[in-house]
Structures are given as structure tokens and as C-alpha cells.
Structure 1
Amino acid sequence: MKIVYYSYGGRYRDNPRALHQRAVSRATIDAEHLWLADPRYAGDFPAGTATVPVRTPQAVAALESADLVVADNHLPAWGKRPGTTYLQTWHGTPLKRIHRDALSLFSSEDLLSRLDDDVTRWDVLLGPSEAAAVPLRAAFGFAGSVPVTGYPRNDALLAPDAAERRARVRAALGIEDGRVAVLYAPTWRDDERVDAGLGFRLPLDPDRFAQRLGEGQVLLLRLHHLVPDAQRGRDVRGVVDVSDHADINDLYLAADVLVTDYSSAMFDFALTGKPILVFAHDLEHYRDVLRGFYFDLHEIAPGPVLTTPDEVLDALADLDGVRAEFGDRYGAFRDRFCHAEDGRAADRVLDLVLPTAVVTPASAARA
């Protein structure tokens, strides 16, 4: 059989990456694996990985000849042949509104219509949790199967080698033993896209962080892929720009605390059990004007909802206090949004979408 993968505009990332790695490791799966790749990210793909350039006739031909298509975002138009299964994994638990629930995202009805055409080809849409499956189905108007499997990309966070991987990544990033690594991963904003010529500002200033906490903490700056160059060229002691790091799971494991805003990162990071600070400096604007939410942030947040840089820095200086105050809320958050995650999501998903002839007996018994 032929499996074609696509992630984030031609990168080697996310749920498709996790499913590819697991499918390759399962010896009884006899398949040709092919990625739609952007040449700019060729270095992220493992040596020997078969690729075709994304957004080319070769890519369309690959999709039209596939037995299984695995994607985490919308694909360009292609003719789906009978017998092909299109698995849409999506790329995160939606806190912020998406697709038809966020019409301000789209410059024209024509663009939205083209994305809706892609939805009509989907056979399976993954649900990371029961709570997330509801808005995902509704936003896309998807009437097909939405199995709640957990996310394959999160299996690595629960893998037996997670501690060893953490040590290896921290060493590679130059993080000394005993130093607190703060992962700062804000989402993008529809009115601050650098690639659209719009302004971008970083609410938590790296210089202020370094001045206040730089002796005992290091800031790992992970910008959204739509604004990756916004801080490039800045050299601040104790701040490491990890925006180009290929696998965010490395950063989740290496970090000791997450600072984010409305990103789906908080739902994945919660699997680590480490503190989460929500820096909602523009909460009212983002909620009421820009995008909107599916869940009340104050109700579900697994940590403090903070509105100023000083509040964030104060919380980072007292992480023990954060753990003590928000332990119960953190547990409730995990129960609601992480209940399907057990480190075996990739096997569950492959068992769902692969013909029974190529499913390993061991994994089928566990499903």
C-alpha cells in the first residue's frame, strides 16, 4: 500500500510524523511512505525519506495514487480515488475558534469554500479528547468518524525514554543542571502576522526576563511558525530562540514550566505534569474581537491567568507556590482534556486506518 503524509506546509512534524515513525517501526506494515515536502525544510526529514515537492503536479499525483493520506492541515485540491482513506489528524485541541467559527480569518468566501472542499474528502478526523471532539466536528461541519484516540504526537511525552531524551535535549541546548528552563510559546494573532506585513510584538520581553530571572532560569523562546523571524538576530544572555527546532516534544521535555496564552500547547504540555502559566495580556480583545474561544479560559486554565509581564515574572519566581495553589485545577484540566493519552495513540490510529492484513497482532490486542 502507499501512504502519503503532509504536515504544516511541507514540514516533517506533528501527528503525521509520529504516525510515520510508528508505521515504519511496525515490521508487518508493508507500505511505501511518501511525504509532501517543502525544500526549505528538507533538513528536517530523516535521511532516505521519500518526498515530492508540495504544491506541484507531482504532489497531486501522489495524493491521487495513495491508499492512505495522513495530514494535519488542509490539502490543495486533488481527485480522491475510490478506496483511498483520508485521515485528518488536525494539529491541536482548539481553545480558540477555528474554520467556520472564525470567519474573520478568511479573506474571501472562495478561500473558505476551497477548504470546505477538502473537508468533504476526509474519512476520519482525530479527536484528542471527548471535549475537543465536539468543537472540531462542529467547526468543520464534519459528519464522518471522529474517534477519540489521543494524539500520536504526544506518545513521546509518555515514552519510557522521556527522561533520557530530556537530558539529551537540555545538554544540546546548553541548559545547565539545576537551571529552570522556561518554555515561552505564544500563539499567533490574526492581526500580527509578519508574512502579511502586519506588526508583531512579544509581550514578555526577553531583556526583562533576563534581568529579573536570568541567573537561575533560561528562556526558551518558541514563536509560532507564522511569525518565526520576529526575534531573529536578537542576542540576549539566558534566552535561546528555539523557534526552528523541528520537534516541539523535545522542548516540552526539556522545559520545567510553560508560559503560553491561547495556544494548544497547554493541552499537550499538561501531560508532563509541569506548571503552566497562561499569559493572557489581551484576553478581552482576543476573545471578544479577534477570534473567540470554545472554552472559558478562567474556568479551565490549569494555572494562573496572568495579564502583565510583572505577574508572569513573579509567578516564575515562585513556581512552588503555583504548584501548591493550582494542583487541583491542573488535575481537573488533565482529566478533561488528556484522558485519552496513554502513550499508545499512534498504534490505535494505525489500527483504525490500515487494512487488517497489515495490522500487527500485538497492537490489535492492545487496542
Structure 2
Amino acid sequence: MLKEKLKNLVIEMMKLFPIKKNRCIFYSSYGANYGCNPKYISQYLKTSNKDIEIIWALNSPLKYNIEGIKIVKNMSLKYFYNLATSKVIITNFRTTRDFQKRKKQKYIQTWHSSLRLKQIEKDAETSLPKDYIFQAIQDSKKIDYLVSGCRKSTEIFKESFWYDGVILESGTPRNDFLFSITEVERKNIKNSLGIDDNEKIVLYAPTFRKENNLDIYNLNYNNLLESLKIKFGGNWKVLLRLHPHLINLSSNIKGQNILDVTKYDDIQELLGVTDFLISDYSSLMFDYSITKKPCVLYTPDLNQYISSDRKLYFDIEKLPFKSVLTNEELNNYILDFEINFYENNLEKFLEGLGSYEDGKASERVADLIKTICAGE
């Protein structure tokens, strides 16, 4: 109780300082990482406008040394000072009560997916904690701009976000990387993971379950790697990327040729080097579709998930990504995979979404920030 009172006192004191018109503060996943949409917006901004001061709030600031960016420890005095004095606040998750928006501040909510399969926010209200719902509703009142990746996403936001303000139909900043990644960048990312240039990568990136049950992630990795080798040739490595909610549990999943990358900051970099994606109900499938590379959904708990966890925005059988229920079905799908059939279905699906993705989303959001900072 005393700690909370002291924090509230600090927040009120910081409001005595003037807002700096060229200062912007960014954070991702409540300070857990330097990644997602805020990362790519800040990277573009620092190269296109040297006059804007870029602040990043991170839980472990000593891990990072990013040229052109000032880093503060999340929830520190410097954090509260910069939060209170920044002209623009950019994040990808809901803000908490610690962000008490001032009159001349602007808040850009980028969210953390370009589109989603599982229902979110108001649409999933009965599945979410009451405390989170309250936090989300309060956060929506603070938002000035909400970033959207496609027409379908805009429709979902209008229905689910408790928000009727400006939706910036810019595309998804973090997806710009999938348009621009170079061979040198691919090589450097793989080398940082200890993977040879000639090795191929299958990324298994499922979402979390309500009870944080790990039993559902029961891939037969040996058979998976054998099927991939038979179908596509080469040597394969499995990357395991669990949801951030499970960051402390991922090491419990064991297997030969499995590299746990759950703590890797930037999922977009992992998608950029992945040759085959296995997911389930995660929004990553829509980001990965930009690469046009194979993706399959391993959903052994499909009926249970829909009935007790989250309902879906799409009929999973009508997605261009095949849904399989067993390891046997997964291996058969790989062995029978037809790239032309997959690409044709994918193209038709993306056309129906009304995608705004073209590799220039960060530029559009950065231009908005420049305009805000140049104003009053």
C-alpha cells in the first residue's frame, strides 16, 4: 500500500515538468523486449529525423546498447519522468494506470498483430480476467491513433476495442522487415542462433492456453524433421517459440535438434529466417504469409479450444493454412505439400482481407509522429 502511494506521488510530481515537443517514449510487451511494432517505428524515426528524441523503457536496460536511442529502466524515476514529459507515447500492449495521459500528449497504440484468428478484447470478454477488461477499457479512452494492418483488422478493432477514434490504416510496422530482409541479415540472424547458413529452419510457434498447459505441444520432432528432409531436402533445425506468457516454462519441452528461442526479442527476425512455420491459433500465421512460405496449423485441441478458451474470427477450415489434429496428419501434409496450390489459396485469402501491407508502414507512422511533434 505504501509503495503504491509513493508511486502515485511520483506520477503527480512528474506532471509538474513541461512536455517536450520532440520527445517520444516507446515500450513493447510491458518493457519485456526491444521488438514488435514500436521497434521498427523507432528505427525508422531515428534515421529519418535526428531532431526527435527517442526513449525506450525496458525491464532489463543493461542488456541493450542501441545507437541513437536513450534507454530507461521500466518503472524507475527516469521512466516516470520521460513518460510524463513525452509528446508521443507508442506501445503494442494495453497501458496501465501508471500512464496518466496529459492534455497535450498523443498516444499511438500499435497492437501486437497484423490480424488475428482468435477473438480479442470485447469479443472475448467472457474469457478474459475482469481486471484486464477494466484496464483495456481505460486504455482505449487514452488512445489517439490505433494502427491497423488490413481492412478486416479495422473491422475487428471497431467492434472489439471499446474505441471509436482514428484508425491509422498504415500496415503493420513490424512486417516491414519481412519485405526488406537481406541475405546478409538472414545470415547474421542464423549465426546469432548458432545455425549454419545451409541449415533450414522449421519454427514451431504456438499460442498459450488458458491453463498454460504444455502437454498440447506434443509434436514428434524426430518424425517432423524426417518428413521435412524427405520433402524439401537439406538438414533442418527446429526453433521453439512459445508465447511470452510461457517464457519461464519453455525449457520444459525437450527434444533433439530443438532450439528454444522463446526469449528471443524479435519474432519478426525469426520469421525472416524460417523456411516452414508450424503454429496454431497465433496471429503469426498472417505475418508469415508475407513470405509466401509454407505454414501449417497443429491444432490437436481444436474443439476444446473453441468451446472453452477462445472463439475464432475465421472458420479454420477456410484458411489457406491447413489445420491438422495429429502428428500423423502433420507429416502427411508435409510429404504431400503442393506449393502452387498453397500459394493460390493464400493469394485469394489475402485479397479478401484488404491488406495494407507493402513494407512502408513504419514510414507512415513515423510521418504521423513527425507531424505531431511539429505541431503545438
> Counterpart of 1:341 in structure 2: which amino acid?
E
Q: Distance in 2 between matches of 1:238 and 1:328?
A: 32
Residue in structure 1 matched with residue 168 of structure 2 by the alignment = 147
Work out whether 1:99 is the aligned partner of 2:121.
yes
Residue in structure 1 matched with residue 9 of structure 2 by the alignment = none
Q: Deviations over 1:157-199 (max 9, x none)?
A: 111x42332233234434445543111111111221xxxxx65
> Counterpart of 1:24 in structure 2: which amino acid?
K
Q: How far did 1:338 drift?
A: 7.0
| TM-score between the two structures when normalised by the length of structure 2 | 0.84
Q: How far did 1:324 drift?
A: 3.1
Q: Deviations over 1:14-60 (max 9, x none)?
A: 0000011111011x341221122112x64255267423332345433
2:148·2:171 contact (CA, 8 Å) conserved in 1? Answer: yes
User: Which of residues 347, 350, 353 is equivalent to 2:369?
Assistant: 353
Map 1:338-349 to 2 at 5 A.
339-349=355-365
User: Which of residues 234, 242, 263 is equivalent to 2:261?
Assistant: 242
User: Which of residues 82, 85, 90 is equivalent to 1:65?
Assistant: 85
More moved, 78-87 vs 48-57: 48-57
Residue in structure 2 matched with residue 252 of structure 1 by the alignment = 271
Q: How far did 1:107 drift?
A: 3.0
Identity of aligned residues (%): 27
Q: Deviations over 1:281-313 (max 9, x none)?
A: 2222222221111222222x2221211112112
User: Which of residues 318, 327, 344 is equivalent to 1:309?
Assistant: 327
Q: Distance in 2 between matches of 1:6 and 1:143?
A: 24
2:150·2:356 contact (CA, 8 Å) conserved in 1? Answer: yes
2:29·2:92 contact (CA, 8 Å) conserved in 1? Answer: yes
Residue in structure 1 matched with residue 193 of structure 2 by the alignment = 173
Q: How far did 1:280 drift?
A: 2.0
- 5+ residue gaps in structure 2? 1-21
Q: How far did 1:224 drift?
A: 1.1
CA distance change for structure 1 residues 42 and 12 in 2, over 3 Å: closer, same or farther? farther
User: Which of residues 170, 179, 184 is equivalent to 1:164?
Assistant: 184
> Counterpart of 2:150 in structure 1: which amino acid?
S
1:180·1:218 contact (CA, 8 Å) conserved in 2? Answer: yes
SS in structure 2 of the partner of residue 342 of structure 1: coil
1:3·1:70 contact (CA, 8 Å) conserved in 2? Answer: yes
Q: Distance in 2 between matches of 1:295 and 1:325?
A: 20
SS in structure 1 of the partner of residue 24 of structure 2: strand
Residue in structure 2 matched with residue 195 of structure 1 by the alignment = none
Q: Distance in 2 between matches of 1:357 and 1:113?
A: 30
1:30·1:358 contact (CA, 8 Å) conserved in 2? Answer: no
CA distance change for structure 1 residues 6 and 96 in 2, over 3 Å: closer, same or farther? same
> Counterpart of 1:329 in structure 2: which amino acid?
N
User: Which of residues 24, 30, 55 is equivalent to 1:3?
Assistant: 24
2:111·2:147 contact (CA, 8 Å) conserved in 1? Answer: yes
User: Which of residues 63, 71, 74 is equivalent to 1:43?
Assistant: 63
2:150·2:353 contact (CA, 8 Å) conserved in 1? Answer: yes
> Counterpart of 1:310 in structure 2: which amino acid?
E
Q: Deviations over 1:97-153 (max 9, x none)?
A: 111221244333x44223211110000001110111111222112110112111111
Residue in structure 2 matched with residue 362 of structure 1 by the alignment = none
| TM-score between the two structures when normalised by the length of structure 1 | 0.86
> Counterpart of 2:365 in structure 1: which amino acid?
V
Map 1:192-211 to 2 at 5 A.
192=212, 201-210=216-225
- The number of residue pairs the alignment matches comes to 347
2:24·2:52 contact (CA, 8 Å) conserved in 1? Answer: yes
- 5+ residue gaps in structure 1? 193-197, 360-367
Q: Distance in 2 between matches of 1:230 and 1:272?
A: 29
